[in-house]
Amino acid sequence: MPLVRVRDVSQVFANGVRALDGASLDIEAGEFLSVLGPSGCGKSTLLRLIAGLAVPTAGTIDWPQGRPDLGFVFQEPTLMPWTTALANVALPLKLRGVVRSEREARAADALAGVGLVGFEKSYPRELSGGMKMRVSIARALVTAPKLLLMDEPFAALDEITRRQLNTDLLELWQRTRFTVVFVTHSVFESVFLSQRIVVMSARPGRMRSELAISAPYPRSEAFGTSADYAALCRLTSARLSEATVA
Amino acid sequence: MSARIVAPVLMGLVMLALWEGLVRAMAIPPYILPGPILVTKTLISDWGTLWPALLVTLRITLEALLAAVVVGILLALLFSLSRWIELSLFPYAIILQVTPIVAIAPLIIAWVDDVNVSLLICAWLVAFFPILSNTVLGLRSVDRNLLDLFELYGASRWRTLLDLRLPAALPYFLGGLRISGGLALIGAVVAEFVAGSGGRESGLAYRILESGYQLKIPRMFAALVLISAAGIAIYLLLSLVSHLLLRRWHESALKDE
């Protein structure tokens, strides 16, 4: 029984743009799934629909196991600049009415979980791009969600920071085994991170093919330089080209 | 000391010296143009009349600014809650703003019995628009993703306003406040001119009028100096408030790095 069942979902915006055209997808509990596709293929729209931030024009999104807690990580860190890292991370708890002492303790734990001990009192502008993204991830995880939706979260970061965050994200995932839906346009990132990759076509987006990445975890830098990894990237890249052209 | 302070101070001193020199060299009589030394002397000798007048004008200015803040924010909140209210009221706010205050001040003074209240209304009319329009802009300039985040966690409209829209609007509001501070003073002075009220409760503008009639031009200049000083003080004070509120997070308050 999947966690989420997306069936024939289409989304047409008010301006007539068809972002999704009959997309179907099952998301299994606990898996690390990447949604790979060219810019503008409706990947982000799909995430917003799953998050309930928009209603599909057609099709259904079901939760056979009940709708779990969600975490959402945007492409930008999307922090409130007027308050501290701790208060930013504590926001979801605050909005749910958790008392101050408890939410601050849990937010501090979440910050520690992403390696940001000692930055609780820092304001977003005092943090680097990578650190801001860590705060954003901590905020998404502070409610201990069963499902983490990530919308090209590392696309704006430099290569070195991105690699570090990829490794750390996998470590977090292995520790708690929440479900991840990771939207990306990077073949390398999707192969390095996920157990399964869904390749989407150019707009209007639909699922074109699916790949299983069976390499074992933990995946280290060594995996990232192995011949296996290179072969998988080649294969995925070919699938992406097919999906984009046809 | 930085060039930011030295340059304008030096410039000011040079201009004052030039002014004094010209007045002396050309023997201009004080009732045409008094020199800065005479103006300073008058400022000191007439302090007993000018200081209470300054307080009257300042009180009207601050009351009008306070009213502008309260009404500006309340209207902005109302506008942000309902598109319909905004569409129906905003044009009239603009009409109030673009109508010259000198043209409507006589009406207001004729309609309202209490002179102080009518002065307050005039100054408020001039001051409230920048606060209103800036706050409306600020309440709308909220990061879309943050709005989504609040929705995702089921935040009520009230929570979203309190924790997201208001803090996001703060820098815009403070920008409007700085403009309105100066405008409130101008509004108060203009209204006093039109009202031309005498007696003990008269502001600086009336002192200027009175000095003009009596050809006490040095006192007129001294009153002008006080109005300018008050305007600068209001601006600096509001800038300081703005800096203190924003220094931890907003780009406008960051030091050059």
Q: Are B143 and A78 inside 8 Å of each other by CB?
A: yes
Q: Which domains does chain B have, with CATH numbers?
A: 36-249 (1.10.3720.10)
What is the structure's pLDDT at A119? 96
Nearest CA-CA distance, residue B163 and chain A, Å: 9
Best mutation site among A49, A80, A93, A147 for testing chain B: the one with the most B CBs within 10 Å? A80
For residues A211 and A199, the answer to whether their CB atoms sit within 8 Å is yes
Q: Could you read off the pLDDT of B25-73 as tens digits, one per residue?
A: 999 999 999 999 999 999 999 999 999 999 999 999 999 999 999 999 9
DSSP B164: I
If one counts the domains in chain A, the total is 1
Q: Are B151 and A53 inside 8 Å of each other by CB?
A: yes
Q: Give the pair of three-digit tokens for residue B4.
A: 């930011």
Proportion of chain A above pLDDT 90, given as a percent: 83
**Which one, of A233, A230, A170, lies nearest residue A199 by Cα?**
A233
Please tell me which of the candidates B152, B167, B254 has its beta carbon nearest to residue A70. B152
What is the structure's pLDDT at B168? 95
Nearest CA-CA distance, residue B249 and chain A, Å: 5
Domain hosting A80: range is 75-145
With respect to residue A21, please indicate whether it lies within any of the assigned structural domains: no
With respect to residue A102, please indicate whether it lies within any of the assigned structural domains: yes
With respect to residue A86, please indicate whether it lies within any of the assigned structural domains: yes
Nearest CA-CA distance, residue A43 and chain B, Å: 16
What is the structure's pLDDT at B255? 59
What is the structure's pLDDT at B25? 94
With respect to residue A18, please indicate whether it lies within any of the assigned structural domains: no
Please tell me which of the candidates B149, B249, B250 has its beta carbon nearest to residue A78. B149
Q: Write the DSSP string, B174-232.
A: HHHHHHHHHHHHHHHHHHHHHH---STT--HHHHHHHHHHTT-HHHHHHHHHHHHHHHH
What is the structure's pLDDT at B257? 42
With respect to residue A95, please indicate whether it lies within any of the assigned structural domains: yes
Minimum CA–CA partner of B251 in chain A: A125
What is the structure's pLDDT at A246? 58
ipTM > 0.90? Answer: yes
Flag residues of chain B having pLDDT under 70: 1, 197-200, 254-257
Chain A residues with CB-CB distance to B150 below 8 A: 95
How far are the Cα atoms of B49, B75, B94, B127, B129 from residue B135, in angstroms, in the given order? Answer: 39, 9, 15, 13, 10
Q: Could you read off the pLDDT of A150-200 as tens digits, one per residue?
A: 999 999 899 999 999 999 999 999 999 999 999 999 999 999 999 999 999
Measured distance CA(B225)–CA(A226) in Å, rounded: 78
State CA A169 to chain mean position distance. 10
Measured distance CA(A25)–CA(A33) in Å, rounded: 11
Q: Are A53 and B148 inside 8 Å of each other by CB?
A: yes
What is the structure's pLDDT at B41? 95
With respect to residue A108, please indicate whether it lies within any of the assigned structural domains: yes
With respect to residue A46, please indicate whether it lies within any of the assigned structural domains: no
Minimum CA–CA partner of B254 in chain A: A125
Measure CA of the first residue to CA of the last residue in chain B; give whole Å.
Answer: 19
With respect to residue A103, please indicate whether it lies within any of the assigned structural domains: yes
Whether chain A has a CB inside 8 Å of the CB on B249: the answer is: yes
pLDDT along chain A (246 residues), means of 10: 94 89 93 92 92 94 93 95 96 95 96 94 94 97 96 92 93 94 95 96 86 90 90 94 81
